[in-house]
Chain A
Amino acid sequence: MALFEEVAGILREVVGPCGGRPPAITPNATLEGDLRFDSVDLAAVQAGLARRFGDRVDLPAHVSALGLEEIIGLTAADVAHYVEDRLR
């Protein structure tokens, strides 16, 4: 879960404090629905991921290959799994 915590930290930085407290980034939190991501946020997360894990991680490219339901349902854990796959 160390990797998940790192990814969650990057997500948390983009989401920022909501109502004065940092949001809970649970593994099941969906980016679009729960964390209210838009394309600008996705680009910001990618910048954070690339800084930490290098250019092999390209989250926007990964998302662009997904279907409608998969993007709507994309969770924080899915992002961590994707990063894990790319680092293998």
Chain B
Amino acid sequence: MSRFLFVVPPLAGHLNPSLGVGQALARAGHEVAWCGPELHVRPLLGPDALVFPTGSRLHRPQSDHGLAAVKSVWDRFIVPFARFSLPAVEKAAADYRPDVLVVDQHSPAGAIAAHRLGLTWATLACSTMDLGDPLAGLPRVREWVEGRVRHLWDKAGLPAEEYFDLRFSPHLVIASTGRALAGSDFPEHYALVGPVLAERPAQPDFPWDWLDPDREHVLVSMGTLADDVSSRFLHETVAALAPLGERLQGVFVAPPDALPDLPPHLLARARVPMLDLLPRMDLVVSHGGLNTVCESLANGVPLVVAPIRHDQPINANQVVAAGAGVRVGFARADADALRAAVTTVLGDPAHRAAAHRVRASFAEAGGADAAAAALTRLSAQSTAQSPVPAGRGGSTS
């Protein structure tokens, strides 16, 4: 049995995969604890989980896109949150003494703590923004991002000669995507395990009887951070689907009062039981968040992707390259373009066939259990190699 401490950010898209890996480790008999903003993680983890709180910092919802969004996610979230949470993360790691620290790729405070305390650690990448080399075509932008990581290292007072990129553990990098999307050009210590699905308690209900088995079904989900900017897109999508009531039903993940007066074949719900709903869907229209993309493809459901920011354009291009859907312009696509995209994907069995190929590849990758197995192997190696952590740790409890 080993002890694992997860360092997580207050982002739903990152918390769900972390939770899935943590649950798989617990099922295998390991001890799991969490370090993150309790306000965000407690509702997901439940009352019995061991949480080392970091406190919360106001995280303003981001309404920009493109490189402005890359700049703001680093300058307004990753860097300030890492600096703010570092003392709490270091104390949690010193007190709990995990065999392995599991560090969300965008919570670099965990990587700093691991290095300082001499702990074995793994990176958990829940986004493709820093996976592979997506900024290869923009070398000066890539340098800018590297500069932000370097800034964190320096501000933490770590020795310059020991510098390494805090986004990538030298021991193990787990990514919640698969080779069918992200390719296979990764070093040996990378584990692309496919989507990591967590058991999610207290799922919202859904009017299952409303689904007509004789029509096709489209789910429109534009993500948790995107509400502020998605209004135009959602209304165009309603207009796109409105004349298609003979052949399909559409479910919008959106507050019902944001989409009033829907025709009877369209439905808006603020929350849906995503994992139960996806097996009944024929198409997902999405902003291209990694979880939505991978969960859809894990069910063999093709996509229409309208990327907004961060890793979404990368994910959209990977879906297109895999043949499992089409990309449309989030800011541009009108009802006609969206209707054409929807009917193209629904009408062409090749997209569904490609989505099924991705599903098979994901199943082979192993998901949460494969991530847990990789972490268990890492723990066994580190115990064999260095029974006593070497760092200048603080107090033990």
Identify the A interface with B (CB < 8 A). 15-16, 32-33, 36-41, 63-69, 71-72
Contact = CB atoms under 8 A, between A and B. Distances in A.
B67 interface: yes
Contact of B331 (A36, A66, A71): A36
A65 B139 CA distance: 7
Interface of B: 64-68, 70-71, 137-141, 144, 307, 313, 327, 329-332, 334
A85 B329 CA distance: 30
B236 to A, nearest CB: 11
Given A38-B313, A72-B66, A72-B71, A66 B140 contact: yes
A39 B140 contact: no
Nearest to A19: B232
B329 A68 contact: no
Contacts of A41: 329, 332
Contacts of B64: 33
Contact of A67 (B66, B144, B331): B144
Nearest to B308: A38
B139 to A, nearest CB: 7
B332 A71 contact: no
A33 B68 contact: yes
Contacts of A39: 313
> Which of A32, A36, A37, A68 is the most central at the interface, judged by chain B CB atoms within 10 Å of its CB?
A68
B138 A71 contact: yes
Nearest to B141: A68
A38 B66 contact: yes
18 contacts: A16-B332, A32-B66, A33-B68, A36-B65, A36-B330, A36-B331, A37-B66, A38-B66, A38-B313, A38-B331, A65-B139, A66-B138, A67-B140, A68-B67, A68-B140, A68-B141, A68-B144, A69-B71
A48 to B, nearest CB: 15
Contacts of B141: 67-68, 71
Contacts of B330: 36, 38
| 5 closest A-B pairs by CB | A36-B331, A67-B140, A32-B66, A68-B144, A68-B141
Contacts of B144: 67-68
Contacts of A69: 71
B68 A72 contact: yes
Nearest to A64: B137
> Which of B67, B141, B313 is the most central at the interface, judged by chain A CB atoms within 10 Å of its CB?
B67
A40 B332 CA distance: 11
A8 to B, nearest CB: 17
A38 to B, nearest CB: 6
Nearest to B145: A68
A65 B140 contact: yes
Given A32-B66, A36-B65, A39-B313, A64 B139 contact: yes
Nearest to A69: B71
A33 B64 CA distance: 8
Contact of A72 (B67, B137, B313, B331): B67
A41 B331 CA distance: 11
Contacts of A67: 140-141, 144
B1 to A, nearest CB: 46
Nearest to A70: B140
A16 B337 CA distance: 12
A66 B329 CA distance: 24
